[in-house]
Amino acid sequence: MARDAARGVGGVEEGNVTDAETTVLYALSTLAQTCAALAAFVGAVGIYRLQLLRTDQSTAERNLGALAARENLGVGSDLAALLPIEHIVNLVEKADPKQGAASKRALGTWRAFPSSIQRSRTALLIFEAWNLLVIFVSLVGFNYVTPLASSPCSFWGLWAAAVGTVAVTGYCVYARTR
């Protein structure tokens, strides 16, 4: 009873931290550290993926110009690399269906890149935003350890953060690898 009388607000003894508070501190610290590591690693991989997509798009653009020149669609091989891509696209679109089949396939390949780049960029932004949110909530949570330790909602909040982090990471990996 003397021990109970010495307890302060939230079940904290003077100078001591309860097991529940220690657990909350570890959970918040682990969430912040894990999300920071994920944000750094997957962010770097995501930026690398975006650079690869842009390089592939440039290659597809050069291929489109070269095929348009080879198929005699109104542009010479010496000018194909210098003309704006919109001009080459117009030439390929206006070409006779019997002429320029390879250029039309190359045009389809080139047109697929903006949506692929956008999907990859969106996945990266969602991933980074989620991780920054979890880091923010974890760091702010350090100010509320005692109320979090005594709240029955903490259990579900930690589960939501963990499941959300795994789900967002899984989605981003899926979006970048398809």
pLDDT in tens, 109-133: 999 999 989 988 888 888 889 889 9
Domain that holds residue 152: 18-177
Residue 138 located in a structural domain: yes
Residue 33 located in a structural domain: yes
Residue 6 located in a structural domain: no
Tokens 């100078």 -> residue: 15
DSSP assignment of the chain: -HHHHHB-GGGPBTT---HHHHHHHHHHHHHHHHHHHHHHHHHHHHHHHHHHHHHHHHHHHHHHHHHHHHTTSS--HHHHTTS-HHHHHHHHHHS-TTS-HHHHHHHHHHHHHHHHHHHHHHHHHHHHHHHHHHHHHHHHHGGGHHHHHH-THHHHHHHHHHHHHHHHHHHHHHHHH-
pLDDT in tens, 129-166: 988 998 999 889 888 888 888 888 888 888 888 898 88
Residue 153 located in a structural domain: yes
Residue 10 located in a structural domain: no
pTM equals 0.68
Residue 11 located in a structural domain: no
Q: What is the count of structural domains for the chain?
A: 1
